[in-house]
Amino acid sequence: MANEDATPAEDLAQLLARLKDEYGVSESEIARRINVSAATVNNWVRRKRGTGRGPNPEKLRALHREFPKFSENAIFAAAGRKTPGPLTPDAEERLLDLFRGLTAEQQEITEMQIRALNEHNRSALS
């Protein structure tokens, strides 16, 4: 995690070019394996943002699962994002239990804080 805040050595388009060479796959195959459209992968390769804020974290994790020679940290850094921490089922249940113990107002405030943190993480390296 020490390099989490470092400037990425390559962007997502460059990483995808290396991935295609390393695995001998097409953009369509990448898209199929991570469950996005071929146009979406093509936009990443052409560095087009589209209407969103770049790849969804689950799709970035899917890239790592499908193409494990590329680390999750490298993929997130290339996409201009910090790598989210792991969330085990036990941790998720503990967080939900804590959240359920809050008042409606506290839940709303907590949700706003979490959204703000997520937005910060999405834009921190962009």
Q: What is the pTM of this model?
A: 0.73
Q: What is the pLDDT of residue 34?
A: 97
Which sequence spans correspond to the domains of the chain? Answer: 12-78, 89-123
Q: What is the pLDDT of residue 3?
A: 43
Q: What is the pLDDT of residue 53?
A: 63
Range 12-78 has CATH code 3.60.110.10: no
- Alpha carbon of 121 to those of 4, 57, 92, 126: distances in Å? 11, 11, 20, 9
The tens-digit pLDDT sequence of the chain (126 residues) is 444 444 557 899 999 999 999 999 999 999 999 999 999 999 999 988 655 567 888 999 999 999 999 999 999 999 988 888 888 999 999 999 999 999 999 999 999 999 998 888 766 554
Q: What is the pLDDT of residue 95?
A: 94
Report helix, strand or coil for 67: coil
Let me know: does 90 contact 82? Beta carbons within 8 Å: no
